[in-house]
Structure formats: C-alpha cells, structure tokens
C-alpha cells in the first residue's frame, strides 16, 4: 500500500472538509482521466464492435454483421499462429539476452568508481534514441550494399535479410540494443537496495563469488527483477517498429502487431483487422495476468515502466 | 595484484558498456558522412568526409516539413500532458478521495496497452471527424499514452515533497500563494521537468500513430517520414540521406541525455520497486 499512501491528516469533525477534498480530487484528476480514456477505452470498445462485422473501408455499403466469424477466420488461419510463434520467439530471445546483459551492465554501473557519470550517460543514449533510427542503423549495418557487418565478419556477400534466421538475428540485435539500458536501469535500482551487510555476512561464512550472486544478490532483488521482466516482455510482445523498418515482415518475420497493422491500415479490412487487434490486446492481458498469478508480481509496488 | 586486476576488469567493463551504447550511433553518423563511392566498401568509417548528405536532407521539403511537424506536435503534446498530469498527480499525492486507486490502476493498464490494436478504430474515427492527417490527430493519442508515465513519475515525486514547509512559510507571514510560489514550486519543478523529458521522448519516438494517422506532409512526423522515404527506392542510394536525417533527429535526444542524465534515471525509477 505504500504506493497509495501520503494523505493529508484529516480531523474527525471534517466531513464538510472531506467532501470538499473529495470534490477537488475529482476535479483535478478528471481532465487527465478523460484524456486517457478518450483515446483508449473508446477505440478498444469500437474495435470490439467492428470486429463483429465484415467491413472494408473500400466497400462501406457491404458492411454486414457476422458475429464471431472474423475470430474463427483468424484463429483457423496458420498465418496467425505463425505470427504468434515468431512474436513469442522474438520475445523470449530478446528478454533472455537483455536480462543477462542488463544484469552485467547494472553490476558494472553499481560497482564502478571512476567514470560512473560517463557510463550512466552513455547507457541512456539507446534508451532515448528513436526506435526507427535504431532499426535503420542496424539495417544499414547488416545490409549487403551499405553495411560493415559482412566486412567485419569476413562474410563478403551474405544477404542477411534474405533468410529467416539471419533476419531474425538482425531484428533481435536492434531490439536488444535499444532496450537493454532500460532493463539495466531497473535492475540497478534493485541492486542498490540489496543490503551490504548480507554480503558481508555471507563472505564471512566463506561464500564464493558465484554463491554470493545466486544466493544473496538475486533473491534479494526479486521484485525489481520480475518487474523488469514483466515490462520488457509486454513491450517485446508488441514489437512493431523494428520489424516494419528492417524487413516489413518478409522472410516470415511478421509479428502479431504487424499483422494487425497490415490488415487494418494496409488492407483497410477493418472488420478482420479489428479481430486481430482484439486478439493482440487479449494476449497482452493474458501475459500480464500470467505474470501476476504465476510469478506473483505485485503491480501495486510498481512505479514507473 | 588482485586489486589491480579488479580495477582493470571494471575499466574494461565500463569501456564495454560505453562502446555498446555508442556503436550504432557512431555507425549512423559515419554512414551519414560517407560520399557515394564509400557507401558500399563494407567499412565502418568513410575514407573522406562529406556534408553533402546533410545539405541534401535540409533541401528536401519532405524532411523539413516532417521535422517541423515532429517538433511542434511533440512540444504541444508534452506541454498539455505534463500540465494535466501535474494536476492529477498533486491530487493523488495530497488528497484523499475515492477512485484514486482506480485511476492509478487504469493508468498502469494503459501503459501496457498494445497501441497497434487501437490504430484501426482510430483511423476509422479520425477520418469521419476530420482529425485524420492533422496535428491534433496525433497530439491526442500522444497525450493519452504519456499521461500514465507522467502521473506515476510526478505522484512519486510529489509524495516526497515536505509539504509542511508550505504551512511553515504561511506561519512566517507568507500568503498561501507566496508559500506555494516561493517554497513548493522550486521543489516540484525538477520533477515536472523530468516528466516533461520522458513525455517528449515518447512523442518524439512514436512511429505507429505517425504512419497510421497521417498521409501527407501536413502532419507526418520524422520517424514515419524516414520509413517511407526508405521504402521508395527510386533514389539511387537513399541510405546516406536517410542516415543524415536520422542523425538530425538523434541530436535533441543526445543533448537531453547529456544535460539531464540524473533526472532521467530518477524519473525512470521513480517510485519503482520497493523491496
């Protein structure tokens, strides 16, 4: 409950005051609340509604109520499942690698003496950089006609974006580079909170460095760890920008977000596209629920993403 | 000896982190400085530097209009979003009212929202009410999606403000406005500023809304323009020009990071993860 604390100490006679406070509270939060809902609740309700119709923007007259047929069409199409598999693969690979590198970076940032400011500033650059710019940079780095990667690896003429696995590696590289800093900053917050006495006590007991890390450090920053993983998993599952810029879904690298975009905006098939959008929305909710239930992530303890 | 070794390890680690963070930035910069012959040589740095690509990019109305759109839309969205979230965060940090918890939970849910699932219906609605391809059509979604982050950052920040100071100043004879203006505002300003930087990053970074809700240079922001520019390959070698444009949109980000490193970290971790 720490999250919702900090209230003005009220006196018991102040029911009038309480009322005023209540009204002021609503007045101050109303504009932000309304704006948040305007562009989220209304469109998602509308997406739900539209997903029940056969409806293309190019043929508004042919709009027809079809019930859940769009969902049946999507869920029985292997394209949907392949995109889900690709998205899950990207999610698992990027989050796993980011956890490892993010943890290593957090430890460097935690223990470093000289040059701390430089390291902490540098690490923020990928976080702040526009995702499209990061994706373009990596695309040109890998591309046969503009890149240096082939030169460095001695691959001469390898076409990275003509194969599934190499395209996927390039996409994951771009994602990992861009988001590891965020992961490492969250992990660093957890690392700082591990009490130093615990380390000293364990060292006195003759623990090795390795044991220290696995038995003392990690268990004591479980909260930060799980929150970082949750946020990054949800974020990775929504991957769109890098795929759009690097492959446009070619070589079977299409993700769920990209499919939703391609159906609604690309093909203006609003009905079926909305069904894909709803399924995307539901899978994100499912992942979040899974984290809360299975791993017991306490969302009320979460502050910023 | 082992002390020295440890020091060397950390120096190496630090150099690794810095190198990791800056390599793709250095690469896009290097690419933007390459002239035609260097592009395909499979080397990192150009053999001769040229500013020709920057000249070409700034001479292209496609890019300059996108730059104006990006700056304008991001600044307007940031200003309004931060103003609204300041009011809300103040109420959440200082007042007791029913629905407070619900607002924070909804904000959290919205931050996890897959934005792509909204663009279909928004595209449809915006077209029918005339918001499609306008600044306002982008400002509204940017506000909705930055409000949660800013409300968290600010309410965490406001909760740490020693509000007794305000009363103390009033006891000393200051009016309540003076107490607010001279005591509270200076303490609160850094938090508001942090929220503004993070909000600006979000708006500046957006791509999904940018490509879905615009169709011309009237409102199209730079990230969207970059992607479409690269799609059109009638240019002989658009890579270097796009690289130059990419460097231009990266400059404000790097400047903000250099100037406000500590505040950004504080904002990202504000109120996060207790225990």
Same domain, yes or no: A85 and A58: no
Nearest C-alpha of chain B: how many angstroms from A121?
6
Same domain, yes or no: A58 and A154: no
Nearest residue, CB atoms, B272 vs list A137, A227, A280? A227
pLDDT of residue A6: 44
pLDDT of residue A174: 95
For residue A189, what pLDDT band results from cuts at 50, 70 and 90? confident
Same domain, yes or no: A51 and A129: no
Task: Give the residue carrying structure tokens 């003076």.
Answer: B178
C-beta atoms of B18 and A122 within 8 A: yes
For residue B235, what pLDDT band results from cuts at 50, 70 and 90? very low
Domain that holds residue A277: 76-301
Distance, CA of B39 to CA of B42 (rounded, Å): 8
Look at A297 and B125; give whichever has higher pLDDT: B125
All residues at 6 or more sequence positions from B124 whose CB lies less than 8 Å from its CB, including other chains: A46, A50, A57, A270
C-beta atoms of A304 and B97 within 8 A: no
Q: How many domains does chain A have?
A: 2
Q: What is the pTM of this model?
A: 0.88
Flag whether pLDDT at B86 surpasses 80. yes
Please provide the DSSP assignment of chain B as one string.
-HHHHHHHHHHHHHHHHHHHHHHHHHHHHHHHT--GGGTTS--SS-SS---HHHHHHHT-HHHHHHHHHHHHHHHHHHHHHHHHHHHHHHHHHH---TTHHHHHHHHHHHHT--THHHHHHHHHHHHHHT-TTSHHHHHHHHHHHHHHHHHHHHHHHHHTS-THHHHHHHHTT--HHHHIIIIIHHHHHHHHHHHHHHHHHHHHH--HHHHHS--STTT--HHHHHHHHHH-TTSS-HHHHHHHHHHHHHHHHHHHHHHHHHHHHHHHTTT----
| Average pLDDT estimate for B220-227 | 91
For residue B1, what pLDDT band results from cuts at 50, 70 and 90? low
CA nearest neighbour of A33 among B110, B52, B15: B110
ipTM of the complex: 0.88
Within a domain: residue A70?
no
In B, which residues are within 8 Å of A223 by CB distance? Answer: 273-275
In A, which residues are within 8 Å of B39 by CB distance? Answer: 145-146
Within a domain: residue A8?
no
For residue A298, what pLDDT band results from cuts at 50, 70 and 90? low
C-beta atoms of B27 and A148 within 8 A: yes
| Average pLDDT estimate for A3-25 | 66
- In DSSP terms, A65 is beta-bridged to A53
pLDDT by residue (tens digit) across A270-296?
899 999 999 999 999 899 888 888 877
Within a domain: residue A1?
no
Same domain, yes or no: A26 and A140: no
Nearest residue, CB atoms, B117 vs list A134, A148, A277? A277
Same domain, yes or no: A31 and A159: no
Q: Any idea what DSSP says for residue A64?
A: E
For residue B94, what pLDDT band results from cuts at 50, 70 and 90? confident
Q: Indicate the CATH number for domain B62-220+251-268.
A: 1.10.3720.10
Same domain, yes or no: A33 and A93: no
Same domain, yes or no: A105 and A229: yes
Same domain, yes or no: A104 and A197: yes
Same domain, yes or no: A89 and A208: yes
- In this structure, of B26-30, B38-42, B92-96, the range with the lowest mean pLDDT score is B38-42
pLDDT of residue A63: 86
Same domain, yes or no: A193 and A260: yes
Same domain, yes or no: A110 and A154: yes
pLDDT of residue B236: 45
A8 contacts B166 by C-beta, under 8 angstroms = no
pLDDT of residue A305: 36
Write down the domain spans for chain B. Answer: 62-220+251-268
B36 contacts B237 by C-beta, under 8 angstroms = yes
Distance, CA of A300 to CA of A6 (rounded, Å): 15
Within a domain: residue A71?
no
Same domain, yes or no: A269 and A194: yes
CB pairs under 8 A between A and B: 346
């Amino acid at each position: 409950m720490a999250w919702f604390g900090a209230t003005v100490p009220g006196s018991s006679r102040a029911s009038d005051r309480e009322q005023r406070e209540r009204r002021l509270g609503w007045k101050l939060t109303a504009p932000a609340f309304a704006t948040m809902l305007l562009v989220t609740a209304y469109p998602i309700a509308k997406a739900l509604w539209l997903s029940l119709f056969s409806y293309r923007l190019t043929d508004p007259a042919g709009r027809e109520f079809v019930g859940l047929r769009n969902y049946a069409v999507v869920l029985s199409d292997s394209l949907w499942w392949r995109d889900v598999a690709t998205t899950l693969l990207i999610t698992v690979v990027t989050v796993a690698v980011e956890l490892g590198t993010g943890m290593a970076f957090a430890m460097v940032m935690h223990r470093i003496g000289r040059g701390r400011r430089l390291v902490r500033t540098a690490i923020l650059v990928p976080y702040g950089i526009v995702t499209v710019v990061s994706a373009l940079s990596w695309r040109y780095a890998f591309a046969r006609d503009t890149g240096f990667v082939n030169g460095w690896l001695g691959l001469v003429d390898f076409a990275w974006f003509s194969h599934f696995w190499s395209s996927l590696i390039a996409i994951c590289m771009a994602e990992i580079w861009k988001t590891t800093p965020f992961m490492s900053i969250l992990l660093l917050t957890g690392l700082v909170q591990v009490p130093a006495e615990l380390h000293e006590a364990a060292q006195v007991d003759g623990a090795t460095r390795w044991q220290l890390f696995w038995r003392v450090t990690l268990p004591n920053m479980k909260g930060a760890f799980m929150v970082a993983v949750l946020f990054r998993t949800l974020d990775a599952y929504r991957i769109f920008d890098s795929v759009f810029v690097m492959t446009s879904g070619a070589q079977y690298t299409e993700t769920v977000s990209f499919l939703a975009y391609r159906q609604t905006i690309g093909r203006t098939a609003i009905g079926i596209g909305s069904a894909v959008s709803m399924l995307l929305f539901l899978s994100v909710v499912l992942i979040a629920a899974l984290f809360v239930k299975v791993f017991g992530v306490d969302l009320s303890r979460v502050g910023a993403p | 000896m082992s002390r020295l070794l440890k020091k060397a390890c950390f120096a190496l680690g630090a150099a690794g982190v810095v190198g990791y963070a800056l390599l793709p930035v250095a690469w896009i910069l290097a690419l933007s400085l390459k002239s035609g012959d260097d592009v395909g040589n499979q080397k990192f740095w150009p053999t001769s530097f040229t500013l020709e690509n920057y000249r070409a990019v700034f001479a292209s109305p496609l890019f300059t209009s996108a730059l104006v759109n990006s700056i304008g839309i991001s600044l307007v969205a940031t200003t309004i979003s931060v103003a609204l979230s300041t009011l809300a965060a103040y109420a959440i940090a200082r007042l007791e009212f029913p629905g407070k918890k619900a607002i924070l939970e909804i904000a959290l849910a919205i931050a996890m929202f897959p934005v792509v699932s909204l663009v279909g219906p928004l595209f449809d609605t915006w077209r029918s009410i005339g918001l499609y391809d306008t600044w306002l059509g982008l400002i509204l979604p940017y506000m909705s999606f930055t409000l949660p982050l800013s409300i968290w950052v600010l309410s965490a920040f406001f909760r740490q403000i020693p509000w007794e100071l305000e009363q103390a100043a009033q006891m000393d004879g200051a009016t309540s406005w003076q107490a607010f203006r001279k005591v509270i505002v200076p303490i609160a300003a850094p938090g508001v500023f942090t929220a503004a930087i993070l909000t600006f990053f979000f708006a500046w970074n957006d791509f999904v809304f940018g490509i879905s809700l615009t169709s011309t240079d009237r409102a199209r922001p730079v990230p969207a323009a970059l992607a479409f520019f690269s799609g059109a390959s009638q240019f002989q070698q658009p890579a270097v020009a796009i690289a130059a444009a990419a460097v231009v949109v990266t400059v404000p980000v790097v400047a903000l990071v250099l100037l406000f490193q500590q505040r950004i970290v504080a904002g990202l971790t504000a109120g996060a993860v207790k225990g």
